[in-house]
Structures are given as C-alpha cells and as structure tokens.
Amino acid sequence: MITRDRIVQTFLDLVGIDSPSGEEDAIAGELEHRLRALGLQAVQDAAGNVLARLEGAGAPVLLSAHMDTVEPGRGIKPRWDGPDIIRSDGTTILGADNKAGCAVILEVLQSLIEDGGPHRTVEVAVSRGEEVGLVGAANMDYSRITARVAIVIDSGGPPSSIQGQAPYHYVYDIEVHGRSAHAGLEPEKGIPAVTIAAEIVAGLPQGRLDDETTGNVGIIRGGLVRNAVPDYCLVQGEFRSMVEEKAETLARSARRHIETVQARHPGARIEASIRMAYPGYRLEPGDPAADLLYPVLRSLGFEPNPHPVGGGTDGNVFRGHGIAAVVIGRGGYNQHTKDEYLVVPEMLDCARVVEAAVRTLPA
C-alpha cells in the first residue's frame, strides 16, 4: 500500500540531492540505483534519462517525471510548516517540481511489488533538462518505450488538476551578420547588425496576442564595444498558441518579415531558424489517457479538472511521438519560486491515483 512516511522520506532524500538543469548526474545515479533495488530493469539512455520497466499484464503504461530543478536549487533545506506542508527555508526553491513526481513513481512501484496482484506493465521515464526546453524528452531513446499511454506527474495542485490543453510552441534563433567599422572615424563603412536586428524585433510577435496566443523576444545579444559598429547580433525568442494554425501563421509571418528586412539590407546576411519545439494538444473525449485516468479519479472521489496551461511539459513531446499523455498534479504549489511548497496529503492522493490507474487492466 501507499505509505505516507516512506514517500515523504523518499521525497526528502531526493530533495537533498542538488540537480539543477545540466547537473543531474548524481540524482540520475540515485534514481537508477533505487529502481534496480526494486528489481526493475533500469538504464540511462544516451541523453542521460533514466528508463526502467516492471513487467505486468496487459498494455503497458508509462509513468514519467523529470529529475532536474530550477535555480536557486542548491543546498535545499526543507522544513515542516504544520503537519502536512513542506517548504524550503526561504533561500531556495523546494524542488517539489519535480522531486515529488519522482517520489510518487518510486512509491507506486514499491507498493505494486509489495502488495502483489495484477497490474499493467509499467515503463518509467525520468527525464533530464525538462526545465530548459524539454531537452531530455526530446532526445529520449523511444526504442525502449512501448507504452502508448503515459501519466506525466508534473503539474501543480491535487491529482484531479489536469493539464487539459497545452500550446504549440515555436522557437527561433536569428543571427544578423553585418560589418564592423570604427564608429567615430568611418561609421559609413560599417553595416550595423544591432540596428538591423532591431528592425527584425520590431516586427516579431510579442506579448499576449489573443486568449490563446503569446509571443516573446527573450534574448538580444550583440556588439563588443561602444565605439565600433557591431558586426553581429543574435535574437532568440518564441511564440505559442493553443491553435496549431495560429502558431503556423506566426511562423510564416515571421519568415516573411525577416525576408523583407534582408531585402532592405543587401550587404548584411541574416540567418534565421524558426521551428516547432513541441506540438500542442487538447484532451478530447475518447483520448486514451483521459479514458484511463478519469474513471480512476472518479472512483476515488475526485472530479477531473482539465484546464489549459500556457507552458509545455514532457507530455507534449510524448504526444509528438504517438504516446497519449496526461499531466496530473502532485501536490506542489508556487513552483519556480522560493515560496514553493508541497501539500503531503495531495502527494499521497497522487500516488494512490497513479497506482489505481496502473492496476486498471484493459477489458
């Protein structure tokens, strides 16, 4: 059975291992060790994601979380705030995003093994680099994953809080190559890359464009000294929309705008990459993930609460690989802040829901 003391201790143990994005080796090794200790086949793929498998009956289900955390996330010192809430000491994040998801998976597996009884084959994928662009999921070894349905334990709130819609996400990298010159002696010989980049930026989508669509220029980097015409400038940004056609329209419009700017400055060279980072999705009636999870939630007294979110998760990437994924809450709040906290009973509820889903065998 799901055990409160054990899952809490697992969570605290994992929080004690620093794992900012890009520095996940220690936590990956710990997760692999724990999974093998439970008797699972566990490996790290070429991207460093931890993958494992517990044999069972019926169609497999994938359980997923991510192991990396945002900054400030080093030397986390969790503390209790009453009997049911865990916070950091206020100098760092807590890391419930997503050590709570990892703890849920480990607890569910241990409960399945201890209690016995029938259950689906369980595949596990704990990714790296989720917080810096879903890097681990994008580079995961999908030849090791056979499940066509996934439960991604990586949302705030109780397990009934479900990411029912997530956006299509495009990113862009625009490099402007001009020509340097002394800004005081012979500026006319230069081709100012920063000025040309500013023309590009002025025509890119920014802010909230409508209820479903946003755009942002996140990075502008160019020039070396104040008295030289800059010969290089980099612009990086993104746009997102819940509607695929809107995202595609923004991509086409951005490309045309960049071509127009290039035509105005034939002496410059503009290199632009605009690409989909991950696809969006909407949970519709009949979706395999919803069909698995919703009856389980209701049987345990929860009413599913699907709602749109503006960010992406590994679930977006999984759906791009043909895996119907549903993203559920694991009791965390105020993630990515020093005010982050975990509601322990909700983490327990999440584990009970996930275990019940895994024990639901196909008819």
Same-domain check for residues 120 and 260: no
Q: Assess whether pLDDT exceeds 90 at residue 76.
A: yes
Pick from 245, 263, 278: which residue ends a domain? 278
Pick from 251, 278, 305: which residue ends a domain? 278
3-state helix, strand, coil split of the chain in percent (to 5) is: 35, 30, 35
Same-domain check for residues 24 and 162: yes
Give the model confidence (pLDDT) of 314-343 as tens digits.
999 999 999 999 999 999 999 999 999 999
Q: What pLDDT was estimated at residue 301?
A: 97
Same-domain check for residues 177 and 325: no
37-49: average pLDDT: 97
Catalytic annotation present for 130 = yes
Tokens (6 digits) for 142: 């999908």
Q: What pLDDT was estimated at residue 58?
A: 86
Pick from 278, 312, 332: which residue ends a domain? 278
189-217: average pLDDT: 97
Closest CA to 100 of 348, 301, 352: 348
Classify residue 82: in a domain, yes or no. yes
Binding residues for Zn(2+): 66
DSSP β-bridge partners for residue 63: 124, 151
The DSSP symbol for 70 reads P
Residue 348 — pLDDT band, cuts 50, 70, 90? very high
- What percentage of the chain has pLDDT greater than the value 70? 100
Classify residue 351: in a domain, yes or no. yes
CB atoms within 10 A of CB 203: 14
Q: Which helix (H) or strand (E) holds 201?
A: helix 193-202
Catalytic annotation present for 68 = yes
Same-domain check for residues 138 and 38: yes
Same-domain check for residues 260 and 284: no
| Number of folded domains that form the chain | 2
Same-domain check for residues 133 and 218: no
Classify residue 363: in a domain, yes or no. no
Closest CA to 166 of 246, 282, 249: 282
Catalytic residue among 68, 123, 212, 349: 68
Quote the domain boundaries for residue 209: 168-278
126-135: average pLDDT: 96
Domain at 148, CATH number: 3.40.630.10
Same-domain check for residues 273 and 291: no
Q: Assess whether pLDDT exceeds 90 at residue 22.
A: yes
Classify residue 214: in a domain, yes or no. yes
- Write down the H helix ranges in 47-131: 96-115
Helices then strands, counting H and E runs in the chain, come out as: 9, 19
CA distance readout (Å), 150 to 59, 63, 128, 288:
11, 6, 17, 9
Classify residue 84: in a domain, yes or no. yes
Classify residue 317: in a domain, yes or no. yes
Catalytic residue among 24, 30, 97, 130: 130
Angstrom distance (rounded) from CA 206 to CA 209:
7
Binding residues: 66
Domain at 271, CATH number: 3.30.70.360
Same-domain check for residues 156 and 140: yes
Same-domain check for residues 150 and 116: yes
Residue 363 — pLDDT band, cuts 50, 70, 90? low
For residue 63, the Cα-to-chain-centroid distance in whole angstroms is 14
Same-domain check for residues 129 and 14: yes
Give the model confidence (pLDDT) of 268-320 as tens digits.
999 999 999 999 999 988 999 999 999 999 999 999 999 999 889 999 999 99
Same-domain check for residues 303 and 351: yes
Q: Assess whether pLDDT exceeds 80 at residue 79.
A: yes
Closest CA to 315 of 145, 137, 174: 137
Classify residue 193: in a domain, yes or no. yes
The overall average pLDDT reported for the chain is 97
**Which string of b and e fits 1-38 if b means at least 16 CB within 10 Å?**
ebeeeebbebbeebbebbbbbeebeebbebbbebbeeb
DSSP β-bridge partners for residue 269: 177
Classify residue 185: in a domain, yes or no. yes
Same-domain check for residues 119 and 24: yes
Q: What pLDDT was estimated at residue 362?
A: 78
DSSP β-bridge partners for residue 333: 341
Cα three-residue angle 23-327-294, rounded to 5 degrees: 155
Q: What pLDDT was estimated at residue 361?
A: 87
